[in-house]
Amino acid sequence: MASTQELENFCTQVRRDILRMVHAVNSGHPGGSLGCTEFVSVLYQEVMDHDSDFSMDGNGEDLFFLSNGHTSPLFYSVLARSGYFPVSELSTFRKLGSRLQGHPTTHEGLPGIRMASGSLGQGLSNGIGAAMAKKLNGDDKLVYTLHGDGEIQEGQIWEAAMFAAHNKVDNLIMTIDANGKQIDGETDDVLSLGSIEAKFEAFGWDVMELAEGNNPAKVVEALAEAKLRTGKGKPVCIVMKTEMGNGVDFMMGTHHWHGQAPNDEQLASALAQNPETLGDY
């Protein structure tokens, strides 16, 4: 088990990776990636039983499906720093011939990716399918998914939510990154989600709230609690409050950095706020 300081160092380095990757190609999505850094880092560093010697079927392992695929720089950084592929490969992000496509894909054979994502709203269905296969295989490991809150405006999410509850898919932990923002502005202004918790409860899920989604220790705690709630006949949903652009002062409190790369000056300022901890790629 890593210490809180070790987890924080890991997250800081991941944030640096995200910022440098997006800056290098002047494209990509830093805001949501920074906001979910603690969650995905803790998942791979502390919570999931997984093997960086990657196999597509992942039998006997916990599986993770990133549904909001635009947070790919985060996913790539955490995978690389968890041993799935060389950290140096992060420098190829979004460049011609790279395995690190703008949105994650299985097409380039990058270890750690089991499903393409980018067209929103599909990852919960994929996760449910994988969870059902685990049950059929007598595999007691768990399936985790991550979604943006804006993403759950997609109707397919609610098809899947209905199915998972009806069929007691209780080896599944869905996480919603509730940062309250999407490309066009506040989710409340674009298309209000109302109470996400109440909606999933009404659909028959066991719903948890994680108030401090950017606090690694709290994420560890919440995921431990979520694991305890699996196997009880209900799929588990964590509504995780986060801050888009977390860790970079000028990226926080706005939706402006959803899909916008920092310029040289902005990068320098952002990196100064996130000093190197584990070595840059």
Partner 1 sequence: MTKYIDSGKKDTRSGFGDGFTELGKENENVVGLVADLTPSLKMGEFAKNHPERFFQAGIAEANMIGMAAGLTIGGKIPFAATFANFATGRVYDQIRQAVAYSGKNVKIAASHAGITLGEDGATHQILEDIGLMKMLPGMVVINPCDYNQTKAATKAAAEYEGPVYLRFGRPKVANFTPADQKFEIGKALMLNEGSDVTIVATGHLVWEALLAAEELEAKGIKAEVINIHTIKPLDVPAILKSVEKTGCIVSAEEHNVLGGLGESVARELSQANPVPQEFVGVNDVFGESGTPAQLMEKYGLNAKAIVEAAEKAISRK
**Where on the chain is the footprint of partner 1 (CB under 8 A)?**
56-59, 63, 65, 105-107, 114-119, 121-134, 136-137, 139, 155-156, 159-160, 162-163, 166-167
Q: CA dihedral in degrees (211, 50, 233, 123; nearest 10)?
A: 70
Is the CB of 75 or the CB of 257 nearer to partner 1? 75
Q: How far is the CB of 44 from partner 1 (least distance, A)?
A: 18
Q: How far is the CB of 39 from partner 1 (least distance, A)?
A: 21
End-to-end, the C-alpha distance of the chain in Å comes to: 25
Sequence-separated (6 or more) residues with CB below 8 Å from residue 103: 69, 70, 72, 116, 117, 118
- Asked whether the beta carbons of 72 and 30 are under 8 A apart, the reply is no
Is the CB of 27 or the CB of 156 nearer to partner 1? 156
Q: How far is the CB of 226 from partner 1 (least distance, A)?
A: 20
Is the CB of 37 or the CB of 125 nearer to partner 1? 125
Which of 248, 276, 268 minimizes the C-alpha distance to 32?
248
Is the CB of 18 or the CB of 113 nearer to partner 1? 113
Phi, psi dihedral angles at 65 (to 5 degrees): -120, 120
Q: How far is the CB of 133 from partner 1 (least distance, A)?
A: 2
